[in-house]
């Protein structure tokens, strides 16, 4: 009798464990016009394509595309990441973007070129790179 209850309880827990909780995928209304945010840091580049409300349509980064370490801040990594994000956004229906670039990293221009070559028309380019008014002290020079 006791064995019967334990096997029954184990059977119920096995059923619960077999069904993972599914997260509801958020749907975003994609217009033909949107924004592209390119964040080019020293160590990585992140490209986010949004609609005009600011909701993310597609995103990609050099790290997401498989680049590691010092290879993440190369112009080639920026091209691959921007092409991936542009392809997903184009399939969703995005055609024209206003580009916001932030950061001093490498691959800023190549990311723009990759967006253009993937059939996304660039209407405006705005540089939002923060410029310090003599803020933090820079790191010491490397002695190699």
Each residue of 25-50: pLDDT tens digit?
Answer: 777 788 899 999 999 999 999 999 99
pLDDT at 5: 57
For residue 22, what pLDDT is reported? 77
**The pLDDT value given to residue 10:** 58
Extended beta strands in 17-80, E state? 33-40, 45-51, 56-61
pTM of the complete model: 0.77
Average per-residue pLDDT in the chain?
88
pLDDT category at 4 given cuts 50, 70, 90 is low
> What are the extents of the domains in the chain?
33-127
Q: Using a pLDDT cut of 90, give the percent of the chain over it.
A: 73
97-135 tens-digit pLDDT:
999 999 998 899 999 999 999 999 999 999 999 998 999
User: What CATH number is given for 33-127 in this structure?
Assistant: 3.30.420.80
The candidate with the shortest Cα–Cα distance to 112, out of 71, 61, 78, 73, is 78
């Amino acid at each position: 009798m006791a064995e019967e209850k334990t096997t029954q309880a184990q059977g119920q827990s096995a059923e619960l464990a077999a069904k993972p909780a599914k997260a509801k995928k958020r749907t975003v209304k994609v217009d033909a016009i949107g924004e592209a945010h390119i964040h080019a840091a020293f160590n990585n580049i992140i490209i986010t394509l949004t609609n005009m409300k600011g909701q993310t349509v597609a995103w990609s980064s050099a790290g997401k595309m498989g680049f590691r370490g010092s290879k993440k801040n190369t112009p080639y990594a920026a091209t691959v990441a921007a092409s991936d994000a542009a392809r997903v956004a184009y399939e969703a229906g995005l055609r024209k973007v206003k580009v916001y670039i932030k950061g001093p990293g490498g691959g800023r221009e190549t990311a723009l070129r990759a967006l253009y070559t993937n059939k996304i028309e660039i209407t405006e380019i705005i540089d939002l790179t923060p410029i310090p008014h003599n803020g933090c002290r820079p790191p010491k020079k490397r002695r190699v």
